[in-house]
Amino acid sequence: MPPFIALLIAISFSVIGEMLLKAGMNQVGSLELTGWHAIPQLIRAFTNLAVLGGFVLIFGGSLFWLSVISRTHLSWAYPMLSMSYIIVVVLSAIFFSEPITAWRVAGVLTIIAGVFMVYRS
């Protein structure tokens, strides 16, 4: 499999995994990691199917990522991961009704320009 295809798969798995983590944590509620009350919250989080599925997909994406960095320059591959930021902004707006502000659009356009420059190099 060409490294660019493996990279796209790694990004896809990671983005979907992150979306599942967010959906699961929306079900679990706020997670405060201070004091003993964190233990039941962590148990709720780690027994939520969406959270578990998110971790599985992120791990799967990591396997493809290992394939990518074993065959390409890290200085090329790592900046390409920033494509996931663009996808997350769009999917977060669609699935979680998160706002896309003018500043976020400007940031996404900056990322797109950077990815293009790295890809062309």
How confident is the model over 57-85, as pLDDT tens digits? 999 999 999 999 999 999 889 888 888 98
Phi then psi for residue 48, to 5 deg, are: -80, 130
DSSP 8-state code for residue 97: -
Q: What share of the chain is helix, strand, coil (3-state, %, to 5)?
A: 80, 0, 20
Mean pLDDT of the chain: 93
* pLDDT mean by block of 10 residues, the chain; 121 residues: 95 98 95 85 94 98 97 91 90 96 91 85 77
Q: What local confidence, expressed as pLDDT, does residue 34 receive?
A: 84
CB distance 87 to 15 below 8 Å:
yes
